[in-house]
Homo-oligomer: A and B are copies of this chain.
Amino acid sequence: MRILVVNPNTTASMTERIGACAQAATSAGTTVRAVNPDMGPASIESHYDEALAVPGLLSEIARGEADGVDGYVVACFGDPGLDAARELATGPVVGIAEAAMRTATYLGRGFSVVTTLGRTCGRAWDLAERYGVQRFCRAVRACEIPVLDLDDPGSDAREVITEECRRAVAEDGSDAIVLGCAGMADLCTHISARIGVPVVDGVTAATRTVESLVVLGLRTGARGEFAAPRPKSYTGLLRDFTIA
């Protein structure tokens, strides 16, 4: 089985870390390839960034289809372009926010999301509501760490995030923590060991979910809303997105 993990921002070092975490979570016989687009924002920290990460993401999905990939992970906690990706892909597509939040619901009554910048918390609540996990989500907490700081070995991001996770357990009474950024994937074990409650990372959760869906022969139902997009002419800068 071949799973394509798409990091929708353009920062290759983050893509590499994400890919390593995803591969480590798979079973024998599954190959993970992690890619990022060559167009779009270096990191995703606003609705503007998120919207503009989608064309690159869809390009990578289209390329994956040409390659016969079995399933996809969208590796940004805003789950950008998920519905559009499901129209394009034959196999299943899973976002890391949906996988992380749904996985956490198996672990107790409530979880807290710990994320990067405060301005992204609203989007996490949007997704919690959309995925039906709002009743499990006790808080969305920001560390006010820019995304690319997670990629900087010299930053104190790891400590700051661990501390916020600890506070989440104490103050929210949560049974589990959800890490709110793909760039935190490699911190999961570190934090879990220190705070003593389960910590869910979306990259590994989504990769396992895609793998399971493929094993079970399940893919997006494609007879209605998620059928392949109708043939359509695209013009200008985006002309290559034309559906013949």
A207 CB, nearest partner CB in chain B, Å:
9
Task: Kindly state the interface size class of chain A when it binds its partner.
Answer: 35 or more
- Which of the residues B108, B175, B208 comes within 8 Å of A215, measured between beta carbons? B208
- Which of the residues B41, B54, B136 comes within 8 Å of A51, measured between beta carbons? B54
Given known contacts A106-B98, A130-B126, A225 and B175 CB-to-CB distance under 8 angstroms = yes
Across-interface contacts of A198 in B (CB, < 8 A): 217-221
Please tell me if A20 contacts chain B, counting CB pairs below 8 Å.
Answer: no
Q: Which of A92-127 contact B (CB under 8 A)?
A: 92, 94, 98, 102-103, 105-109, 118-122, 126
Please tell me if A52 contacts chain B, counting CB pairs below 8 Å.
Answer: yes
Bound Cα distance from A189 to B215, whole angstroms: 12
Across-interface contacts of A219 in B (CB, < 8 A): 107, 198
25 cross-chain CB contacts under 8 A:
A25-B215, A27-B215, A38-B236, A41-B233, A45-B232, A47-B83, A47-B84, A48-B84, A48-B243, A49-B229, A52-B54, A52-B234, A92-B107, A98-B106, A107-B218, A107-B221, A108-B220, A108-B221, A122-B224, A129-B129, A129-B130, A189-B217, A196-B223, A208-B212, A237-B238
List residues of chain A with CB under 8 Å of any chain B CB: 10, 25, 27-29, 37-43, 45-52, 54-56, 58, 81, 83-84, 86-88, 92, 94, 98, 102-103, 105-109, 118-122, 126, 129-136, 146, 169, 173-176, 189, 192, 196-198, 200-201, 204-205, 208-209, 211-213, 215-221, 223-227, 229-230, 232-239, 241, 243
Additional 8 contacts, C-beta under 8 A, given A45-B230, A175-B220:
A27-B28, A38-B236, A50-B84, A51-B55, A107-B213, A119-B224, A132-B132, A208-B212
